């Protein structure tokens, strides 16, 4: 959220988190951004709490980070080509249901590949199958643990996601 704190054209108006143990609330508070806990059940209905929040805060774009649930069709349709997600591997490999966190880094390590990275993609109705907008790579060393890989990939995510999101939003505005 600090990404756009002083941006002349982009304003973060709401942080939504779906896991009570997420650090999102504290981060939102730190930057003075309204935050709202909405469990996955609140996203099911187009007339539910999630839809009400999106309307009340006049949301134009959605940036996902660590949101592990599949978005419902009504939400994807309503924000078609305006939802970005970050994935901690190079898609289309190592994507899909269950491919997050340690699972994805463990699969990368087990595969024996020598390069991994992160992907930023549009969200559609399926896990990690939206159009890829950007990818960045980093090496996977034989001696790497899952934690080593995760640390390297997270640095790429922090470096690139704000820049790609900014370019994407400005190109659509």
The catalytic residue positions are: 87
Q: What CA–CA distance (Å, rounded) separates 170 from 92?
A: 26
User: Nearest to residue 11, comparing CAs of 27, 33, 28?
Assistant: 33
Contacts of 2 (CB under 8 A, 6+ apart): 31
Burial of 112 per CB tally in 10 Å (0-12, 13-18, 19+): exposed
* 134 strand-pairing partners: 120
């Amino acid at each position: 959220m600090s990404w756009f704190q002083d941006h002349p054209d982009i304003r973060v108006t709401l942080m939504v988190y779906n896991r009570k143990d997420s650090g999102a609330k504290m981060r939102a508070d730190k930057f003075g951004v309204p935050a709202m806990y909405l469990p996955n059940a609140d996203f099911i209905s187009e007339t539910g709490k999630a839809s009400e929040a999106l309307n009340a805060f006049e949301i134009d774009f959605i940036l996902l980070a660590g949101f592990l649930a599949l978005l419902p069709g009504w939400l994807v349709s309503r924000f078609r080509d305006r939802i970005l997600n970050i994935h901690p591997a190079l898609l289309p490999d190592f994507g899909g249901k269950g491919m997050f966190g340690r699972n994805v880094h463990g699969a990368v390590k087990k595969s024996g590949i020598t390069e991994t990275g992160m992907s930023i993609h549009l969200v559609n109705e399926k896990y990690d199958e939206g159009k890829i907008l950007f990818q960045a790579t980093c090496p996977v060393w034989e001696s790497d643990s899952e934690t080593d890989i995760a640390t390297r990939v997270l640095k790429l995510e922090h470096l690139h996601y704000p820049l790609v999101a900014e370019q994407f939003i400005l190109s659509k505005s």
